[in-house]
Amino acid sequence: MLRRFYTRSQVAGEISLPAVPGMIDEYVAMCAKLFATVGREFSDDELAHVRRVLEGQLAEAYAASQRSSIVISFKAPIGPTLHYQVRAQWRTLAQEYENWISTREPPLFGTEPDARVWALASEAPEPRAHRVLEIGAGTGRNALALARRGHPVDVVELTPKFADIIRSEAQRESLDVRVIVRDVFASTADLRQDYQLMVLSEVVPDFRTTQQLRGLFELAAHCLAPGGRLVFNAFLADVDYIPDQATREFGQQVYTGIFTRPEMSAAAAGLALELVGDDSVYDYEKAHLPPGAWPPTSWYADWVSGLDVFPVKREMSPIAMRWLVFRKTR
């Protein structure tokens, strides 16, 4: 009678989940439990078909973008049958960050320049002779602050609306800021080769491959003047922790692309770049930002500690964001 009772129900629903192909077993288990809960238990053969459908859509979504999801919709009329559909959805990085502008309250990334970036720039006694390249400048909190100090600044920004914000503010204040809207790896024709400082803040966590890391180091070797420095922040795994594929994929979904130290070293190998700085982002920014500026946003402290992937105490997280500084040796 209970089995018959559930088949008299009418069910409809939809679930959206981040696309993480390495977690396929979790998706299948969730579907099996959900369908059984509403009285439509699937057989092993039916669940095998669910797995195949999920695998295809997960692969399509994740390959398209790390800002991707799959949507599982289901509907059961009166009777024992349940119909389901799985579809992939995604946004490009530029689309995702443009969505931030329309859905989140500013400031999106904080109001002050990064303390680590500011400290490096402040070592230059003559800012006008210390040209800066910033990649992925967001709304310009680093680029504009450095330009106000007197540095000539070139910005390469992927998101057109961010570029418009920076360009508008620079024009309003008559700052020496040149804004280039494109993927930085598409060309070097419009970039100089005499930058004294190259900055990527909160950019490398969006990298998907070690090839992109290598591309970053090659770009630095090409664009920096001898003695110039590259500074960026990245999530690094603890030396005794090796992230599996599912962890890397999920990390990319929550703005936390993870690399190991051997991967970082291999990406820089053979280039005229030496590591001269390696600091905890959490510790450095907390200690050096101006009073009242820590944390820069409500989500920043947990995010840089790796807690968007691992919801544990900060000291237990096997990953953390680090400030890395490389100097061009020749």
Q: What is the pLDDT of residue 298?
A: 96
pLDDT above 90 for 141: yes
Same domain, 197 and 304: yes
Quickly state the pLDDT bin for 30 (edges 50, 70, 90). very high
Same domain, 56 and 99: no
Q: What are phi and psi of 173, to 5 degrees?
A: -100, 5
Q: What is the pLDDT of residue 50?
A: 98
What is the domain-level CATH number for residue 101? Answer: 3.40.50.150
Q: What are phi and psi of 264, to 5 degrees?
A: -65, -45
Mean local confidence (pLDDT), 69-76: 97
Domain range for 299? 93-328
Same domain, 155 and 304: yes
Same domain, 131 and 42: no
Q: What is the pLDDT of residues 220-255, one digit of tens each?
A: 999 999 999 999 999 999 999 999 999 999 999 999
Where does a domain end: 90, 125, 146?
90
Same domain, 85 and 107: no
| C-alpha distance from residue 202 to each of 17, 81, 100, 280 (Å) | 24, 48, 15, 14
Q: What are the helix and strand counts (H, E) for the chain?
A: 12, 11
Same domain, 179 and 47: no
Mean local confidence (pLDDT), 147-156: 98
Same domain, 320 and 294: yes
What pTM did the predictor assign?
0.94
Number of domains within the chain: 2
Q: How far apart are CA 198 and CA 116, in angstroms?
A: 12
Same domain, 86 and 107: no
- Tell me the three state secondary structure of residue 22: helix
Mean local confidence (pLDDT), 174-178: 98
Same domain, 233 and 208: yes
Where does a domain end: 68, 90, 112?
90
Mean local confidence (pLDDT), 24-41: 95
Degrees (nearest 5) of the Cα angle 276, 263, 306? 85
Where does a domain end: 45, 63, 90?
90
Q: What is the pLDDT of residue 6?
A: 81
**Which residue do the tokens 């679930």 mark?**
15
Same domain, 82 and 97: no
- Tell me the three state secondary structure of residue 241: coil
